[in-house]
Structure 1
């Protein structure tokens, strides 16, 4: 499952500590995002897509700075933002690709952690077609005890769709979660967890692996 409230709180505490000890501008940005929780990096991607005025799927320095400010990362001053931009602009073009930027910010996820993520994905993919949809979740879970289903506010399918949206791409919330989207979510979670054992135990608890 997506992170529980207690896990979110712990991740935010880890990110707070990471931010204070960060040794590079990119690390500072990573932890500033993760202080907002497991979806912090994913949410930043959503903010940047709104700032892409010309539809180029790239950002110049002004768009980059405005995107960070719009997202509420006020702890980053303009000098730090400029340093992050220059560090990530490898070819000196004055432009950053959305996807390249988000991969750089979230950091790598090692093979051991990735295997736990893959096990969780396979468990969710009840139809074994390489993607997770409402139909998959319907086969595995019962939404009858969800508070919004009990109140009559949501149907079962709406409960399932809300769950899927935790993992879906912020730029394309289409109700279909691919392996890449699922991995991206947990790569963001992984970025704030130094201990492999903690990560594996969290995955085992969440998905009953």
Structure 2
């Protein structure tokens, strides 16, 4: 429900076009992620934990470079990766924290788009407790039409939980989606959409607002 197949194709094409013309190392990384779809940036964030070979919750340059290649970002050469690392390493420590890494590649989301994301979050938060849980989703949506429920592979709760995992913190899904996590997901989606009107229309269609 987050993005339709048509919207995914649009995002990927926009990212490919942006990657070809961009001269910014950070933008190139952002577009390379988004060429893998709306979850590309989030997927790279999830991979951060895998890249972190020594468990320090930070990445040195070797871990960063190897992690990008392991994630499949072969569009980026060593020089571009070195430029990305240098630009992200704001304090010159030779290490990247998870937060500075993800925030930088996610990019900003303007006030107009934020308002639509907040509206969608409020609609999903049926219990009005500031977070989205399986109980909220159960009140709003019927899982009986999900293919995996119909095939008997998943229970109703498993369908809802997988839905929540799409928005949950990468590498640490807990079945509870906060407003920040929801905003993080759509900040990634927003990064490859230039037009506010298209983004807002997509949100209204996705969440029937």
Determine if the TM-score, normalized by the shorter chain, exceeds 0.5: yes
Instruction: List per-residue Cα deviations over 1:154-198 (Å, max 9, x = no partner).
Output: 111111111111111112111111111101100000000000000
- Structure 2 gaps of 5+ residues are none
Mapped partners of 2:146, 2:45: distance in 1: 29
- Aligned residue in 1 for 2:208: 208
In the TM superposition, 1:85-164 aligns within 5 A as: 85-164=85-164
Deviation at 1:55, TM superposition (A): 2.2
Mapped partners of 1:51, 1:45: distance in 2: 10
- Aligned residue in 2 for 1:20: 20
When structure 1 is superposed on structure 2, of 146-155 and 127-136 the one drifting more is 146-155
Mapped partners of 2:151, 2:80: distance in 1: 47
Instruction: List per-residue Cα deviations over 1:8-31 (Å, max 9, x = no partner).
Output: 111000100010111211111110
Structure 1 runs, 4 residues or longer, greater than 3 Å off: none
- Aligned residue in 2 for 1:29: 29
- Please state whether the residue corresponding to 2:187 is helix, strand or coil: helix
- Aligned residue in 2 for 1:69: 69
* CA RMSD, Structure 1 to Structure 2 (Å): 0.8
Mapped partners of 1:98, 1:11: distance in 2: 25
Mapped partners of 1:146, 1:46: distance in 2: 25
